[in-house]
């Protein structure tokens, strides 16, 4: 083949590749635009319209301009108008008058930040954050905040194959401590292995809390004291606990004999030690919240969607009933209920 023929062939290949790539970009753009156009168009209201009402706070995952924004709906009308706040978070948790926001800044390199938000949903102060953010909680009166990050590794599927850092601080920014440095007691004996990890805090009051501990491939539900800097194991196979409003039960995810990366939701009775497996049979990788004393809420990714999204579901806490869709196009739910701001009871 002559040099001129080879040059012509090369030009033809470049044209074909360029046209193909351009066609892919156009098709992908059209797919995204179609998905956005077909997304659920939720009615909106101003945040002030829901102020003081029992509400559900969540990360909006509906395609469009509000994607990733923190939104609020009334608890008695969860499918009703959404109030969009100025905050953009990967994960959010809120109590009356305050919220904690784990956010991502996606540039050439993605960085993450944790911030405490005030009543107007704008940052009040930055919080320490030393890894990939995963879990966040506030005490019911908003005086304490806990964040969990992955220092290395990327998931909870295999205990011991990742490292976490769980920090507790006061709302004024004063550090309380890294709970992984607290004494962990299992059956009365301290656990000091290098693979010890703690995550998923849920507060009882200004001192006591529940969390997950892991070591040697085993997880435990633990009860902790900030003042005593001590954690005591209550039971095995319990992750990401959430304390009920009446303070008598803890909802959590358990692995059981499921494949790696799969969990079932269950409830542990703190008075009797009884376990109730819930009717949700799909795997839930979330730190759930309680809708009330009878139901829990949690996020689930939506399978088969053209745009990455998720929904918030509810299921009875007594093991009966069936899961029901509570808020479509939503993630990371937190319940603002009447009387919130008072500390939980201690069973």
Mapped to the 3 state alphabet, what secondary structure does 241-270 carry? EEECCCCCEEEEEECCCCCCCCCEEEEEEC
3-state secondary structure at position 24: helix
Distance CA(267)–CA(283), nearest Å, equals 15
> With bands split at pLDDT 50, 70 and 90, how would you rate the model's confidence at 307?
low
Reported pTM: 0.83
> With bands split at pLDDT 50, 70 and 90, how would you rate the model's confidence at 183?
very high
123 pLDDT more than 50? yes
On whether the CB atoms of residues 343 and 139 are closer than 8 A, the answer is: yes
Computed over its alpha carbons, how large is the radius of gyration of the chain? 23
22 pLDDT more than 70? no
Residue range 166-175: mean pLDDT, rounded: 93
Distance CA(272)–CA(262), nearest Å, equals 27
More confident residue, 5 or 140: 140
DSSP 4-15: HHHHHHHHHHHH
More confident residue, 286 or 130: 286
**What is the per-residue pLDDT for 1?**
54
**What is the per-residue pLDDT for 337?**
85
Distance CA(98)–CA(115), nearest Å, equals 11
Residue range 94-116: mean pLDDT, rounded: 89
Residue 95 structure tokens: 């109590």
Domain 43-336 in CATH 2.120.10.30: yes
**What is the per-residue pLDDT for 249?**
98
Q: What is the mean pLDDT of the chain?
A: 85
């Amino acid at each position: 083949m002559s040099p001129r023929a080879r040059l012509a062939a090369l030009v033809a290949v470049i044209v074909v590749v360029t046209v193909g790539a351009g066609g892919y970009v156009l098709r992908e753009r059209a797919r995204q635009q179609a998905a956005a156009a077909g997304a659920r168009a939720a009615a909106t209201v101003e945040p002030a319209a829901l102020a003081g009402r029992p509400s559900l706070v969540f990360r909006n995952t509906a395609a469009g301009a509000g994607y990733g924004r923190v939104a609020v709906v009334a608890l008695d009308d969860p499918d009703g108008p959404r109030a969009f706040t100025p905050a953009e978070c990967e994960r959010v948790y809120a109590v009356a008058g305050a919220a904690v926001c784990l956010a991502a800044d996606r540039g050439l390199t993605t960085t993450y930040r944790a911030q405490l938000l005030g009543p107007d949903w704008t940052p009040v102060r930055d919080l320490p954050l030393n890894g990939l953010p995963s879990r966040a909680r506030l005490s019911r009166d908003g005086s304490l905040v806990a964040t969990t990050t992955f220092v290395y590794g990327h998931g909870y599927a295999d205990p011991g194959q990742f490292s976490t850092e769980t920090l507790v601080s006061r709302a004024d920014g004063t550090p309380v401590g890294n709970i992984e440095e607290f004494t962990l007691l299992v059956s009365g004996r301290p656990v000091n292995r290098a693979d010890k990890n703690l995550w998923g805090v849920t507060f009882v009051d200004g001192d006591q809390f529940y969390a997950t501990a892991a070591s040697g491939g085993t997880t435990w539900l633990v009860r902790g004291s900030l003042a005593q800097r001590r954690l005591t194991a209550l039971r095995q196979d319990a992750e990401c606990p959430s304390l009920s409003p009446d303070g008598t039960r803890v909802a959590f995810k358990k692995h059981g004999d499921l494949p790696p990366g799969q969990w079932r939701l269950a409830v542990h009775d703190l008075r009797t030690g009884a376990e109730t497996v819930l009717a949700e049979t799909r795997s839930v990788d979330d730190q759930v919240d309680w809708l009330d004393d009878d139901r829990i809420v949690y996020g689930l990714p939506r399978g088969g969607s053209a745009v990455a999204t998720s929904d918030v579901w509810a299921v009875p806490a007594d093991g009966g009933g069936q899961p029901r869709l509570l808020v479509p196009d939503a993630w990371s739910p937190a319940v603002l209920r009447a009387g919130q701001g008072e500390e939980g009871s201690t069973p």
